[in-house]
Structure 1
């Protein structure tokens, strides 16, 4: 009788491990799929973090305006302002918390996503004493070259 129990426990453990492996593969595949919601979250994180990778999620129309790369211009202006005030650029970065995205409308080529989140400065309580800000914006996206990208006046969001 003891051998029967030992065999069924081993079989059950192997079955659970196999199921867990397949679920992990499924979740990894689902996470790599590009969606408008994922694009908005990635753009917002990069924008508030002063990361130039935000250019990857910005549509061509919004990226280059009058021959100027607006991402580089934005990061340069924030960095210059921080240096003028005696800070390193790190101190101007913000982190996003409680990020939520909701689809307002979506078709094959366009989407409208509502972004709600809370923004906090990394050293807020110690140096700046500024309170956290809540963001609630609706952002337009287009599907450009098979990838969802943010369009419009997006830097008003980051300021």
Structure 2
């Protein structure tokens, strides 16, 4: 995606949230897990960008922070906004638990109301980091 394409994303998410609110939904969730677009920004396995949206966890989280700000601006301060993120991609070279904790710290500086922590992604040909684990589960430990 070009930076111009990325710049359109917050408005598109906000427009969707506004439609949901107008339709009578009582909140929205931004999906940034399981290999979907925003998850791919977070994952160093897929995000090889060298601009403002790549590199550090902070940069890889930038579009998500921008989306949250635009959605909040559009739906107002009392309409709940949640987000789903991975605790780990469970893919070699993907988002780690340490990265996820850093993302959560960044999300805590936003107006997000709820963080749902999930995990895992499936991409054909990508080696799972849980292949050698006994049960394939990942635990996120908060300190």
Asked if these proteins are the same fold (TM beyond 0.5), I'd say no
Structure with bigger gyration radius: 1
TM-score class normalised by the smaller sequence = under 0.3
Q: Name the structure, 1 or 2, with higher relative contact order (CA <8 Å, separation 6+).
A: 2
Please state which structure has a larger fraction of its residues in strand: 1
| TM-score where L is the length of structure 2 | 0.25
